[in-house]
């Protein structure tokens, strides 16, 4: 959801989709995004935390819990009900857009 719009960028979509599996910390989110996108989407750590901040500001993710591991703070994020609605709506939008191409390709033969 870039600022001021209801659109979901590709990295945001994959972050939200990754969080459908449950609360995760940053490194696990990065790994999940890479796996789900087939390695195509690989945000840097700084970019990921910017995405997480924007998604949190919009109420589509929230901090689930924090813990200290090896002296470092680790924050776990979870998708909210609003976030689930956003990612599902985006999946439907992409499915409908893909169907336009698939249906045309079928007729073009």
Q: Which residue has the higher pLDDT, 2 or 25?
A: 25
pLDDT score for 7: 77
Q: Which residues make beta-bridge pairs with 24?
A: 77
Q: Write the CA distances from 79 to 3, 14, 20, 64, 82, integer angstroms.
A: 19, 12, 7, 9, 8
pLDDT digits (tens, 9 = 90+) for 48-73: 999 999 999 999 999 999 999 899 99
Task: Give this prediction's pTM.
Answer: 0.86
């Amino acid at each position: 959801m870039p600022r001021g719009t209801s659109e979901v960028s590709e990295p945001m979509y994959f972050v939200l989709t990754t969080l459908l599996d449950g609360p995760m910390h940053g490194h696990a989110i990065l790994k999940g995004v890479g796996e789900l996108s087939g390695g195509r989407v690989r945000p840097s750590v700084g970019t990921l935390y910017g995405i997480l901040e924007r998604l949190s500001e919009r109420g589509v993710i929230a901090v689930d819990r924090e813990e200290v591991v090896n002296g470092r703070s680790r924050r776990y994020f979870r998708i909210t009900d609003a976030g689930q609605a956003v990612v599902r709506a985006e999946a439907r939008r992409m499915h409908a857009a893909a169907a336009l191409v698939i249906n045309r390709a079928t007729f073009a033969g």
